[in-house]
Amino acid sequence: MNTSQLLAVDLLLSFVSAGAWIGAAWMSASLKDKSRRTDLALLLLGTAVALTVGRYALLPALVAGSWWFASERITINVPLTAIPAAWAAAAGVPFLLRRRNTGSKPVTPDPGRSREWAVLAIVAAAASAVASLALTFVLGPFPSLWSLAVVLFMVAASVLTAKLALFPQTGQVAPRSGAAPGGGASAVVRRPTAAAAVAGLMICTALGSGVFAWLGSRSADGATITAAVGHHSSAGVAMKDPTPVTSLVGDAFADAVVRRYELTARMEQVTLPSGQTTEAWTYGSLPGPALEAQLGEVMEVVLHNRDVAAGVTLHWHGYDVPNAMDGVAGATQNAVMPGGSMTYRFAAAQTGTYWYHTHQDSAEGVRKGLYGTFVVHHPTSPRADTDIVVAGHDLSGLGLLGSSDRTTVHTATPGSSVRIRLINTDSVQQRYLIQGVAFKAVAVDGSEVNQPQEVTGKLVRLGAGGRVDVAFTMPASPVTVRSDAAASAVVVIAPPGSADADSQELAREKAPAGVFTTTPVLDLLEYGKPLDRVEPLDGVEPLGGVEPLDRSRDGSGPVRPITREEVMVLDRQFRFVDGIPRYAFTVNGAAYPLVPSIEVAEGDTVKVTVVNRTSEPHPMHPHGHHMQVLSRNGVVPSGSPLNLDTVDVLPGEVWELLLHADNPGIWMDHCHNLDHAAEGMMMLLKYQGVSSPFVHGGQSHNRPE
């Protein structure tokens, strides 16, 4: 059983145990003379205890996956539930057994007190079991002290309310007239007012906490992003004036060739090769115009917005542009509204396969078609004879490979070199099946793979936003590329004059049934060959024996020691997102804008541990940076070094990554399932001394996700 399944079992046990505790409390409190409820109360109590113990038994296995899978379960949940459960077992079981054997006949000096003690103990266990659910679904892995205080108050108040409502105080009633002196009768004094007061206080506490959370979720609306003070700053040392992101425009190469493009965002009806028509937002075509440059040139792209009412930007996914050019509405610019324009200018300083898309209301905009491809070539490296870019996309339920939802044919001479650049522009994983030839995965997220081996019989899996370049020597027969995200689309590479070049026969063929679920996936952590070990920078060994990040992206040159460590626990809790209650996607128990930023100084090397406690993959994407993979689930990569800009963290996985802070600015770091980002899984990577004049929301209407 893997970690994700263990988390699911723990969640199931927590629900069932809470139900059993509540049932046991209800049955115990409502026992009557000669009632059969005693047996049911005993059964529920025993079941609740067993399920609670079962949750504790899972903890060692969860810790084996990572401490962060069990952190608050051990430090908070165990004492929260174990003490009341032990009290309930010690008081409730003997009481119920006596009641089962003797009925209502008293067998103790004070049977009322015995019943009260047992019922209140079981109520306390039930309340703590519900609080345990609140810990999972509301508080999260890093609960604040005030939220813990609220939970403990709720548990205590539940027990007090039960005592006041179920066990009236015994008092003396004055004797009736004519009665013998001293003949006062014993009676009960009910306390409904006190019980109602405690219950009302509980309701007010819950409502007050909700209002506080709602106000926090609205804190970013109309507010600018403040500069990070920085963990390197000494107390009492004044910070210099912050650098605005608008000044971080980078340096262009002297006398560089300028590649000029002009894109116009628009709303239009698009007719696909299948004949189906759909409403789309585009940059003039679907995908947008293919942008290309050579290393050392300058990209100059002018963006116009004709009529996309939500606004648009251009974000260069995976390309480490200067911060002012990153294209994030509310962080590095204002959204380009209808009739507006903006010019993006940056040096083409890294080669490889990338893509661009809007970062204004991107969950909607990218899904509707505001994306395109971007490739930078090395001027002295040999290029493939046939170079094909394939962007996989789901457009309103219509699967596309490139611009087609049917067959696209390219010709290549047998014996010539072919390179296919696969890009996942969706928010979910895509699997690609390459048939008819053995291939090599020669690049991942724009970085070349060291000594790639030939691959046959395996799928290429791309997380959202990810890219893999595959290369092969063209055989004498056609090669096909299919994706599980585009069942009716296929890319065919055929020899000139081939009988299949007209695509009619291949267009009718489909991928074999179940091939995308049964075929093994190429594991990039085991693919290629590792580089020779390089010497530490300035002779400084890494912290904790962990291999630090290479200075250069190709893995050559000296390495730097780790200067900072961060943990990102990806989870789900109930939160307000932009003032709307949601079952949000959270980072460290918070939803944007309340997720604490990662704050760095230029030159830092940051070790980031990413833990996925949800049941869905999360492709985490820090803007403006690549990250070197140190380990996945504790296993160090055995193949070529992996430098990724989008890390697809599957359910129950733990990735250790290294990020070198060499690109100053204020950067988004978010899940590239853009719906997840829009529902809270988004944070900032902030450099010390950098600020932004742009605001989230407000009159600017900036909505990055």
In tens, the pLDDT along 470-524 reads 999 999 999 999 999 999 999 999 999 875 545 556 656 777 878 999 999 999 9
Per-residue pLDDT at 593: 86
Per-residue pLDDT at 234: 41
Per-residue pLDDT at 682: 95
Q: Is the bond preceding residue 619 a cis peptide, omega within 30 degrees?
A: no
- Dist. CA 121–CA 438, nearest whole Å: 67
- Count of positions (residues) in the chain: 705
The pTM of the full predicted model, rounded to 2 decimals, is: 0.89
Per-residue pLDDT at 675: 96
Q: Mean pLDDT throughout 230-251?
A: 70
In tens, the pLDDT along 164-174 reads 888 866 554 44
698: pLDDT strictly greater than 90: no
Q: Are strands 352-357 and 386-395 parallel, antiparallel or unpaired?
A: unpaired
705: pLDDT strictly greater than 50: yes
User: 530: exposed, middle or buried (C-beta count within 10 Å: 0-12, 13-18, 19+)?
Assistant: middle
Query: Half-sphere exposure of 545 toward its Cβ, with a 13 Å CA cutoff?
Result: 1
Q: Are strands 467-473 and 417-424 parallel, antiparallel or unpaired?
A: antiparallel
Ramachandran bin of 634, using left for φ above 0, alpha for ψ from -120 to 50, beta for the remaining angles: left
The neighbouring-strand residues paired with 407 are 490
What tokens were used for 411? 């010709």
In tens, the pLDDT along 288-321 reads 999 999 999 999 999 999 999 999 999 999 999 9
- Dist. CA 25–CA 18, nearest whole Å: 11
pLDDT confidence band for 558 (50 / 70 / 90): low
> Within the chain, how many helices (H) and strands (E) appear?
11, 34
Query: Taking each helix axis from N to C terminus, what angle separates 3-29 and 145-166, rounded to the nearest 10 degrees?
Result: 30
Give the list of residues 6+ apart from residue 82 with CB closer than 8 angstroms, or none: 52, 56
pLDDT confidence band for 222 (50 / 70 / 90): low
Per-residue pLDDT at 254: 76
Q: Mean pLDDT throughout 59-74?
A: 94
In tens, the pLDDT along 634-683 reads 999 999 999 999 999 999 999 999 999 999 999 999 999 999 999 999 99
556: pLDDT strictly greater than 60: no
> Among all chains, which residue has been given the structure tokens 């296919």?
420
Express as a percent the part of the chain with pLDDT over 90: 68
Express as a percent the part of the chain with pLDDT over 70: 84
What tokens were used for 629? 């993979």
Farthest-apart Cα atoms in the chain, separation: 121
In tens, the pLDDT along 372-389 reads 999 999 999 999 999 999
pLDDT confidence band for 199 (50 / 70 / 90): confident
Give the mean pLDDT of the chain.
87
Query: Taking each helix axis from N to C terminus, what angle separates 37-65 and 3-29, rounded to the nearest 10 degrees?
Result: 160
